[in-house]
Structure 1
Amino acid sequence: MSKRMELPEGWVEVELGKVCEKAKIVQRKNVEPESKLIYLDIGAIDSVTNQIIRHKEYTWKDAPSRAQQIVHKDDILFSTVRTYLRNIAQVETKLYDGQIASSGFTVIRGNPVATNPKFLFYLTLSQSFLQPLNELQTGTSYPAVRDSDVFSQKIPLPPLPEQHRIVAKIEALFTSLDRGIASLKTAQQQLKIYSQAVLKWAFEGKLTEVWRAQQKTLPDGKEILTLLKSEKKEVCQKKGIKLKDTQPISSEELSELPELPIQMAWARLNDLIWSVKDGPHYSPSYQESGIPFISGGNIKQDGIDFKKAKYISVELHEELSKRCKPEKGDILYTKGGTTGIARVNTYDFEFNVWVHVAVLKHLPSINPFYLQHVLNSQHCYNQSQKYTHGVGNQDLGLTRMILITLPICSLEEQNQIVAAIESRLSVCDKLEETILQSLQQAEALRQSILKKAFAGQLVPQDPNDEPASVLLERIRAERLKATTGKIVKNKKSDK
């Protein structure tokens, strides 16, 4: 808002600090060390809803050094770190009145003589207020602005009655907009539920029930397991790999699993693959370009994000590939950080993986996309979480992941199941894309409302309103009186 604005009659352009009061700083030497406080830091704010959703409690002797500013109801907490993240909220409950906020906030407290607190709150959410501050940020790790940068921003100030009208109009429009957003998010959640239902139906044999009834030569589940065992033995002999027996599924486990058609059977993941390896258990030396090197965070159900990949040298890639080499058609399965996400490698170029990614090489009778979908089903995902151990560094160990139980069927039926799943999920993907576009449009509409509000275009002006310039004179007089002890009469201003 640093650019010169053409404002309606009765409005003025003013530095934010001219209409704000400073928050008091706690003198910690004067407080009782054992007394308690409620502390608000950046983590207290939900940057989507712009509300305070949590707080911390300390005694003063244990409180962080940034616990400095006394806040009151209606104050605006404006994070000076990464302003583009919009960690902004208003103190709306008496619970936090008189409590303590981090020095990482600029506390914006409007003078009630000239400002409506909600008007200033919505102003700080507008892109026209945030963008100039984004450009002023300094620092690399934690780009930030100073309090003085925030308070020096020029803002449009309408007459006080018009501020009230603007706030009422914004809240009416936002209420309607939020209802629409809530409906979109409900639809989004329903799509996720439907997608999981599709996978559940698929792997219980329900999506291919009609197709299966038309087949006359399908093997039964026992024959499929025998075929897979024979295939694995043959592949391992050809590759010179020691064949490791699969832990049988116990009768107790089987009793808890859904009943399958006779043409399907329960197996363990180890029955479907001939190799499972992960990447190096150390951070390699990275470089600006070379062979892409990905971790678990790069793997999504809809593909691999190579834009955020790191790079290693060709020589290191060749060395690492001696133990674990991702090839087209392999399954990449996240085993560290966010665990239990599977994706087929559909890429024609070479890359390598870190320890947080397992590379599964499947048997010839396994459709890789069948394996991808079944591993991403709720049944398998739940098991992946059960087998994920650790608190800080979570890990889905290789020896545990191969114990995951999953349904298996003939390759012909796998192909049918994949086609049935993807035809349905492709519709979900299109609907999801439409919902995301609508949500983006809703945010653009929100900013459009704010832009009109602070340009004087949202509500009509009333020529009988006391001009904002008179309010500023009143603030100046108050401040002068406070500093000099003298009563200063306001000069009359033309309305």
Structure 2
Amino acid sequence: MSTLPKGWGSTTVKNLAGTSGLFVDGDWVESKDQDPNGDIRLLQLADIGDGVFLDKSDRWINEEAFTRLRCTRLETGDVLIARMPDPLGRACLMPSLEKRCVTVVDVAALRVDPQVADNRWVMHTVNAPQLRAEISAQASGTTRKRISRGNLGGLLVPLPPESEQKRIADKIDTVLTRVDAVNTRLARVAPILKRFRQSALAAATSGRLTEDWRVLNSTSKPWRKATLEDLIEEMRNGLAAKPDESPAGRKILRISAVRPGFLDTTDHRYLTTDESSAKLYELRKGDLLFTRYNGSLEYVGVCAMVSEDLPGYVYPDKLIRVRVKASVALPKFIELVSSAAEARLQIEGYVKSSAGQKGISGGSLRTLRMAVPPVEEQTEIVRRVETLFAFADRLEARLKTAQTSTERLTPSLLAKAFRGELVPQDPNDEPASELLRRLQQEAPLTSTKLRRKSGA
């Protein structure tokens, strides 16, 4: 631990319980001990957030199990610390709940002695990057890291004077309230941008987007009703051969490379194939790729255009390649149409489910109905939609930057608090050394709580 601020001391996590608190594992409650009709809630790791109680679980035990297992009843204000990821060591305060609560063995409960520390300060200190790093270093395990209660309790923490702890906790609570408000506002932006893009597509595919263009260009050429079958010269499923990760042969796209309006050419594996197959399944500029299968309905039948020739690439059988008749349609226009709400409604209606996968056939895609303007108006539609989408992309990039900045605020704030840099010090505060001296003169806490062997 680095040099402490004046008036600060250090102690262990377990000593924060003092003589009137408690520091124990949760209870070793197995599935057979649970009762969905019980009235004592069994909190889970999923309930423990970084500084916030998430209230996600719905597990219960009854009075008989509570007594037989000698469970510890949690109290409002207990510091709950997750001994397993993710992330490891996250801590929150036990809220005031109507029902009695206990918790599982992988959540440690620290009941802080109010004469030793402010429980809010303790929670924030455990969540600080410096202590989180120590927790990670003390953890063990191959697949999922876990810190034992002994190692957790033995960690050294800085101990400010009692009054300064409260000032630090008050300051953190105030700032985090503002951070939460900012995050709430930022979270509203992404759905707005999604609606904006859908509104642009709806206007584009209905003719509203280019009403002024038609007037300006004195054109009255009608839109015609068509199916995808009417607009294409070829539709072909991809290669069924099994690819591998070894960089040999040709690059073969993964199904996840295709997302609405976007093709990720870096998302690929490799496939050794003969020249005739490579030629038959090549990808060139203007090709459209539709997904045939996905575990999520949202990504079945989505379309992305190949924006440049891709020599050395082929595509798998879970993708469908479509080539458009240049005389009647622009590939980019078809890509936009396929992402619009009206087309998605049709596509999702065609989808069939089998063995956990959702799929669509090429035959069904061929029947996709759409309104098609003349090619020159399609060109203007594509230009305008791309301009609107570029604007949305810029806003989205700014949103991600803002979200990244707010994500860094909390760790930075807690790190400053841990170093004693968050609030001014008061020379009139009683030094923490006096508090620690009094603790040493008192009898140590002895827990008589019994528990089954937990492997911790």
Both proteins in one fold, TM over 0.5: yes
CA 176–427 in structure 1, closer or farther in 2 if over 3 Å, else same: same
- How far off its partner does 1:156 sit? 2.0
Aligned counterpart, 2:44 = 41
1:332 correspondence with 2:285: no
- TM-score relative to the length of structure 1: 0.73
**Retained in 1: the 8 A contact 2:121–2:168?**
yes
1:370-409 equivalences in 2 (<5 Å): 370-390=333-353, 393-398=356-361, 399-409=363-373
Query: Residue 20 of structure 2 aligns with which residue?
Result: none
**Amino acid of the residue matched to residue 382 of structure 2?**
V
Q: Post-superposition shift, 1:89?
A: 4.1
Q: Is the 8 A contact 2:41 2:99 kept in 1?
A: yes
Measure, in 2, the Cα distance between the counterparts of 1:414 and 1:352. Answer: 29
Structure 2 distance, partners of 1:458, 1:140, is 37
* Matched residue, 1:16: 13
Would the aligned equivalents of 2:261 and 2:304 in 1 still touch at CA under 8 Å? yes
1:266 matches 2:248: no
Q: What residue in structure 1 maps to residue 54 of structure 2?
A: 52
SS of 1:94's equivalent in the other structure is coil
1:184 maps to 186
Q: Indicate conservation of the 8 Å contact 1:270/1:402, yes or no.
A: yes
Q: Which AA in structure 2 matches 1:94?
A: L
Q: How does 1:110-259 map to 2 (within 5 A)?
A: 110-134=112-136, 141-215=143-217, 219=221
Match for residue 307 of structure 2 among 346, 350, 357: 346
Partner Cα separation in structure 1 for residue 256 and residue 140 of structure 2:
28
How far apart are the structure 2 equivalents of 1:9 and 1:361?
A: 74
Rounded to whole Å, the distance in 2 between the matches of 1:290 and 1:106 is 53
Partners of 2:31 and 2:370 lie apart in 1 by 63
Deviation per CA, 1:189-241, whole angstroms, max 9, x where unpaired? 3222222111111111112112223446664xxxxxxxxxxxxxxxxxxxxxx
Change (3 A) 1:396 1:478: farther
Letter in 1 for 2:224: A
Match of 1:361 in 2: 323
Contact 1:277 1:323 in 2 (8 A): no
Moved more, 441-450 or 409-418: 441-450
1:412 to 376, 380, 385: 376
Gaps in structure 2 of 5+ consecutive residues: 18-22, 66-70, 449-456
Q: Which residue does 1:257 correspond to in 2?
A: none
**Identity, % of aligned positions:** 22
Q: Residue 391 of structure 1: CA displacement?
A: 8.2
Q: What is the Cα deviation at residue 403 of structure 1? A: 3.6
Write the deviation string for residues 227-285 of structure 1: whole angstroms up to 9, x where unpaired.
xxxxxxxxxxxxxxxxxxxxxxxxxxxxxxxxxxxx22333333333444445668644
Q: Are the equivalent residues in 1 in contact too, given 2:228–2:366 (CA < 8 A)?
A: yes
Partners of 2:24 and 2:149 within 8 A in 1:
no
Q: Tell me the TM-score normalised to structure 2 length.
A: 0.78
Take 2:24 and 2:119, find their aligned partners in 1: how far apart are those partners?
14
Q: Deviations over 1:328-360 (max 9, x none)?
A: 322233331341432212254433445554333
Using the alignment, how far apart are the partners of 2:443 and 2:285 within structure 1? 72
Instruction: Deviation per CA, 1:33-88: give whole Å up to 9, x if none.
Output: 786353433444567x84414212356899xxxxx986543344444444448865
- Which secondary structure does the structure 2 equivalent of 1:390 belong to? strand
1:456 CA drift (Å): 1.5
User: Relative to 1, partners in 2 of residues 1:481 and 1:418: Cα closer, same or farther, differing over 3 Å?
Assistant: closer
1:314 paired with 2:272, answer yes
- Contact kept? 2:261, 2:336, Cα under 8 Å: no
CA separation of 1:347 and 1:470: change in aligned 2, threshold 3 A: farther
The worse-fitting range, judged by mean Cα deviation, of 461-470 and 427-436 is 461-470
Q: Deviations over 1:127-178 (max 9, x none)?
A: 2333444566666654555445544443222123222221111111122233
Q: Give the partner amino acid of 1:346.
A: S
Displacement of 1:416? 0.7
Q: 1:483 to 1:75 in 2, by over 3 A?
A: closer
Instruction: Output the aligned Cα RMSD.
Output: 3.9
Question: Matched residues in 2 for 1:356 and 1:77: separation?
Answer: 47
More RCO (CA 8 Å, sep 6+): 2
Does structure 1 retain, via aligned residues, the 8 Å contact 2:225–2:369? yes
Query: Structure 1 CA distance, aligned partners of 2:204 and 2:33?
Result: 64
Contact 1:38–1:96 (8 Å) recurs in 2: yes
Q: 1-side partners of 2:351 and 2:49: how far apart?
A: 29
Alignment of 1:75-90 (within 5 A): 75-84=78-87, 89-90=92-93
Change (3 A) 1:218 1:31: closer
Q: Distance in 2 between matches of 1:329 and 1:85?
A: 48
Gaps of 5+ in 1: 63-67, 220-262, 485-495
Structure 2 counterpart of 1:461: 425
Task: Supply the AA of the counterpart residue of 1:344.
Answer: M
How many Å apart are 1:413 and its aligned residue? Answer: 1.2
Q: How does 1:472-483 map to 2 (within 5 A)?
A: 472-476=436-440, 480=444, 482=446
Q: Secondary structure at the match of 1:52?
A: coil
2:451 aligns with: none
Corresponding pairs, count: 429
Matched residue of 1:358: which SS?
strand
